Amino acid sequence: MSRELIKELNRRKVHVKSKIADGHAVSKVDHVVILSEWDTFYGRSLSATFAAKASHQTVTEIINDPKKWPDWILPYRYLRGIDGQLPGEPGKDNSREQPQKNQLGQETVAVEATEGLNQSDYLRRLARQLKETDKDLQQHGDTGIRAIGLLGSDVYDKLMILRALRPEFSEALFFTNNYDAHLQRRDDWNDVHNLIIASPFGNRLPAFGGKLQHVAPFRDNNQTSMYASTLVATGKIEEADLDYLSSQSRVFEISRREAFDLSKSNKPWFRDWLHFDHHQLYLVFGALFLALMVAWVSVNTANRALPGGGTTAQRLKRVVSSTAFWLVCGTPIIFFSVTLFAQSKWAAQEPLAFFSGISIWPSEMLRLIAFMLAIHFMIKAGIDLRANERELEERFCLDPLPPTRFCWRHLGLGLDPWRPHAKEGEVEAEFYAQEAWHAYLRRNKFWPRFIRIGILFTMYSVFSITILQLFPGRSGGLLPPARGEMAFRFDLVILFLTGIGLMIVSFYVVDAIQLTSNFIRMFAREVTRWGRGVVERSHRSPPLSEEELSAYHEIFFVAQRTQLVARLIWYPLIVLTLMVVARSSLFANWTWPLSLVLIFGLSATWALGSAILLRHSAERLREAAISNLQLLRVMSHAVEEKREMFDELIAEIRALKKGAFSPLTEQHFIHAILVPSGGLGLLAVGQRLFDIF
């Protein structure tokens, strides 16, 4: 049994053995705590056997010479019967501390007595002592206590120890001996989740070719073993069958539904279902026609922004850039690909289970969906920004940027800071909207943006590595609750790709928002020169001149541009939300080390901060425009027609609720903040997804 536990720990990257299979010493072993019964020979022998197997010694050598005890195995003892009750006594089946009520009728936590038969107060002191030991190990450059073993015979003692140690060691792996149905009660899930159990028997025996009758599953492995012995004694099964059972130790992991038998996790149930009765062919046809239906509906939907609703080619382009199309086509491909890989011979050690809390594969699927959406959002943002640029050029009579060949000076635009004002001592030149628009578009092209994003990506990568080194957590904070070498490698690759996707889409959106904010601040000059066509379209000249209408055009130009740019804030936050959901304990025993909290938190804060800055720049522009128009109104006091026109412009600007000028409660970044906040967040995400589609 100790051998099976050590093998299982090794599958989960907890290295306990001092030597590998070829006899070479391991460079670094992990510290493991063994809690065993002190007052039973069985309990004392379990800890000694485990230490002997881990250090490649015999039990006799360790018992005769305590100095040979491996220093990475930390033994602790406890007296059997921690709760001070005998089996069958009232309250024995529910040894959890019951809340008490004070004089006001409020529930309070029961106070542990330091006298009497109940020894639970020892566990709290033991938890504090182990926590101090863990901190000392980490201060000396070690990963700390990686696993805690509960080796004993009393299941109630194990439950009490788990309740005391789980809150202090949320990242540690807990394991024990002997299967017991009491460990899979749903009421104790918070204490026993993901507990590893190594047992000579489970709760049932195989059918042995139909020689055994169907029997209800037993309570523990002791009952199963007695049943097997009785069958041998009565000649129902042969001794060879019992020897086979005894040599096949079982390894379980407590899931949400039951004790999952990891010894059977390599059964390719999904592959069998896929190849049964032409299911594979049906799935291919179903996926193909589902994609065709989505494409057909999208192609037959007219786009009001295009003449005649758009040509067939334009509508197909719109389909390809549709989030619904990517989700409908990409999600099934990701699901089936990961599922098939999970049941391959390379990755079969990690079980494939959904919503059981013991499998990383659902998390990997969500991460791949997040990576797919990150790529899609960057493509979609580029298409939407260019479409918005064409609309602005048509409405405000601006010439498009002439096509130019690539040259090295284009890269310099990514490093050239865009100064909205002239330097001190320089004469302020006239500000032409056409020139500013072309300067904005040149900086909005691929290569300048590539340089800016590349610099941010490099700096943020160095920052993330630094944070991971400062707050490593369990093995750098990135070690997944996986089983098997291939599962660890797969998770590392997917985490790497998703992290890169999140950073790139975040920096893409942040760069687009910051560039637009700088463009807005360019309008802070005295007068913006617009073309004559813009003035004529306003139908307010005369009585107003081109200079007097300048601020008015600035406001509505910014409103139309930011109506799209402000919406981009959803893209990185949706990807980030999927990555957060992927680390949910609903799928596996994921934890949140401080390093990941800081990295994810900074990504969200950076994106939200840029969106807040965009609104701040727009509101300052609105205030400046209103002040300018009010001043012009005062200067035109002799002309009643002009004064009325200025009042109309001021009222229209104040009532503008579009783009960055929307009320605070309708801002995209405010709605995005609601994403993690339960029902309101889900409602906001659902509403925004409909807008994105």
Contact 568, 509 (CB under 8 A): yes
- Calpha distance 649→629 (Å, rounded): 8
Mean pLDDT of all residues in 138-151: 87
Q: What is the pLDDT of residue 19?
A: 67
Residue 403, token pair as written in the block: 């096509």
Beta-strand ranges (E) seen in 161-203 are 173-177, 196-199
- Calpha distance 510→532 (Å, rounded): 34
Mean pLDDT is lowest, of 366-375, 529-538, 591-600, 612-621, for 529-538
Instruction: Assign 3-state DSSP to the chain and report helix, strand, coil percentages, each to 5.
Output: 60, 5, 35
Mean pLDDT of all residues in 440-468: 90
Higher per-residue confidence, 313 vs 536: 536
The pair phi, psi for residue 84, each rounded to 5°, is 75, 15
Q: What is the pLDDT of residue 512?
A: 92
pLDDT of 126 higher than 60? yes
Which amino acid, residue 344?
Answer: S
pLDDT of 636 higher than 70? yes
Which amino acid, residue 285?
Answer: F
- Each residue's pLDDT tens digit, 4-37: 899 999 999 898 887 665 555 666 888 999 999 8
- Calpha distance 591→602 (Å, rounded): 18
Residue 659, token pair as written in the block: 């783009």
For CA atoms 417, 419, 424, 430, give the dihedral sign.
Answer: positive
The pair phi, psi for residue 59, each rounded to 5°, is -65, -35
Tell me the pLDDT band of 560, cut-offs 50, 70 and 90.
Answer: very high
Residue with tokens 């369990």: 474
What 3-state DSSP class applies to 266? coil
- Residues counted in the chain: 693
Q: What is the pLDDT of residue 310?
A: 61
pLDDT of 104 higher than 70? no
Tell me the pLDDT band of 525, cut-offs 50, 70 and 90.
Answer: low
pLDDT over 70, % of the chain = 80
Q: What is the pLDDT of residue 641?
A: 85
- At residue 638's C-alpha, the angle toward residues 636 and 641, to 5°, is 75
The CATH architecture assigned to 2-85+105-200+249-264 reads 3-Layer(aba) Sandwich (3.40)
Whole-model pTM? 0.86
Closest by Cα among 483, 586, 479 to 255: 586
Tell me the pLDDT band of 579, cut-offs 50, 70 and 90.
Answer: very high
- Each residue's pLDDT tens digit, 220-234: 888 888 888 888 888
Q: Which helix (H) or strand (E) holds 36?
A: strand 31-37
| 3-state SS, one letter per residue, for 425-479 | CCCCCCEEHHHHHHHHHHHCCHHHHHHHHHHHHHHHHHHHHHHHHHCCCHHHHCC
For CA atoms 188, 189, 190, 195, give the dihedral sign.
Answer: positive
Closest by Cα among 608, 606, 581, 604 to 668: 608
**Domain range list for the chain:** 2-85+105-200+249-264, 367-401+434-663
pLDDT of 328 higher than 90? no
Contact 571, 608 (CB under 8 A): no
Residue 675, token pair as written in the block: 């994403």
- Each residue's pLDDT tens digit, 196-251: 999 988 888 776 656 666 788 888 888 888 888 888 888 877 777 767 766 667 89
What 3-state DSSP class applies to 73? strand
Mean pLDDT is lowest, of 82-91, 291-300, 432-441, 527-536, for 82-91
Residue 538 exposure: Cα atoms within 13 Å on the Cβ side: 30
Contact 486, 346 (CB under 8 A): yes
pLDDT over 90, % of the chain = 26
Contacts of 470 (CB under 8 A, 6+ apart): 595
Higher per-residue confidence, 348 vs 151: 151
Cα dist from 437 to 241, 441, 583, whole Å: 83, 6, 44
> How many C-beta atoms lie closer than 10 Å to residue 590's C-beta?
17
Contact 538, 552 (CB under 8 A): yes
